[in-house]
Amino acid sequence: MKVKLLRALVYTMLMLVFNSCATYNKSMSSYYTNIQEHNYEQALHSLKNNKLIKKDRNALLYNLEMGKIYRLQNNYVYSNLYLNAADQIIENNRKTIADIAVSNLLNPMHQTYLGEDHEQFMMHYYKALNYANIGNTEDAVVEARRITLSANTQNNKYKNKDNRYSNDAFALNLQGIIYEMADDINNAFISYRNAADIYIKNNNEYYGVKIPLQLQKDVLRTATILGFEVEQNQYKNEHNTSFIDTINNNGEVIIFLEEGQAPIKEEKNFVLTAGNNGINSFTYFDENGYSQPFNFNANTYGISNEKLTDIRAFKLSLPVYNIQYYQQQKIFVANNGKNYEPQLVQNINNIAINILKERFVTEMANAVARQVTKKLLEKGTEALAEGIARSTDKSEAKDTSQAAKDKTNFEKENRKNTAGNIAGLAVNIFNTITEKADTRNWQSLPAFVSYVRIPLQQGENNIVVTANGKEKEIKINAAKGLQIISITLDN
């Protein structure tokens, strides 16, 4: 009976294991495949019918993806309906007690998803482009102002530490472009300057992007227009250039060029063993045998040191990014026979991988706390099952011989231990299969974003973008001021 019960329990748990190992990306594979193949209607259908992303905890991702797919279909109004809903979720930005509890007892995949830091800035990028594309400059400027709020939140979150993703140079550069589109040169200069200063502070390279030459030109040009001679001289010296860009009377267009897919967030497993330097000391081993000591402050999580004494080893899972699109394409842009060179302005591959590295210690500590909680639950369940088994045993008769009493006590102890072992095994297997990393992310983002600023000639302009030997032709009519568009390149 005991053997059959154990077999049935193990079989049930294994079925749960096999049914619970899919990452978020695999669960969404049909949607992402259709996007890569430009089957946008099928992608939309797949998204609307995906049960996982329709769960309440994934509402942010659902709205972000809906906003992206409608933008790819050039439906800018619908795109912003969903992106604004996503923005509201981020603005509320709080985890409930239930979120924390389910994370500790199951895994963070069951928490409400609140987005990666860079995803918020990319949301502002798409919202601003949508407003610009429907000619709503006023709301585009509102979105530009919201970039400042997001940047301030990010700064406060990491106290503007040099070794953390505490700002986004691309978002501030975009902000300057939007202000310039609205003919607000003063705020445009401030934004361009703020973006340039981030690069300067980081040796002219920020998360895989060297300071764009176009940004240097924009800082100098707007400073000159405003008559800011001190700032003009400062940035001339900083960039070792005297070149000042001019304004074209026929207007200009900035084209953002998106290519590739953002890296996929996957799961990496670690084994932690108790270390030799005290109760809070562990050593973790990854799948390649790499080991490193890790100190865990149990009191931070409300766990007493005494409860750690019986914990020897356990498995935990953390998220890692897997790059899908390594190399930028060679892109050529021409307007009426004149060539222009796009410049990289956002490297999501680099940002995504590094922000996870930057919070590795925090992720590890949270995972340890989660597993310690589960281990304590396992031991508590064992004790509870043993207690129940003991209480259900009937008392032996008073005239029973000592040998019979010993036999009865042995059987009782055996039943108690068996009940505890079965209960402990059940919880142990459940804990093992529910240990998963949070592999959710806004996967339809590009790997790279480049941009190019092109002066327009009077009348219709035939702009040709060539990437991987494939050409895309864009017709733009000259108009005073600045226009903004984006193109998704074929992989």
Tell me what percent of the residues of the chain surpass a pLDDT of 90: 48
The better pLDDT of the pair 393, 89 is held by 89
Question: Is position 414 within any domain?
Answer: no
Question: Is position 243 within any domain?
Answer: yes
What residues are paired with 372 via a beta bridge?
Answer: none
pLDDT at 361: 76
Which candidate, 116, 77, 80, 110, places its Cα nearest to that of 96? 110
Q: What is the CATH number of the domain that holds 220?
A: 1.25.40.10
pLDDT at 405: 54
Token pair listed for 156: 């406060």
Q: What is the mean pLDDT of residues 239-253?
A: 78
Model confidence band, residue 99 (pLDDT cutoffs 50, 70, 90): low
Question: Is position 325 within any domain?
Answer: yes
Q: Each residue of 435-487: pLDDT tens digit?
A: 688 899 999 999 999 999 999 999 999 999 999 888 999 999 999 899 999 99
Question: Is position 16 within any domain?
Answer: yes
Which candidate, 248, 180, 212, places its Cα nearest to that of 461? 248
Domain count, the chain: 1
Question: Is position 255 within any domain?
Answer: yes
Question: Is position 213 within any domain?
Answer: yes
pLDDT at 375: 64
* Gap between the Cα atoms of 289 and 282, Å rounded: 15
| Sequence letter at residue 218 | D
Angle between helices 59-72 and 76-92 (to 10 degrees): 160
Q: Each residue of 194-207: pLDDT tens digit?
A: 999 999 999 999 99
Which candidate, 445, 456, 476, 433, places its Cα nearest to that of 71? 445
Model confidence band, residue 98 (pLDDT cutoffs 50, 70, 90): low
CB 377 within 8 A of CB 427: yes
Question: Is position 284 within any domain?
Answer: no
Q: Each residue of 385-403: pLDDT tens digit?
A: 445 545 655 555 555 666 6
Q: Domain containing 477: what range?
A: 2-267+317-369+438-488
* Gap between the Cα atoms of 58 and 429, Å rounded: 26
Question: Is position 292 within any domain?
Answer: no
| Sequence letter at residue 13 | M
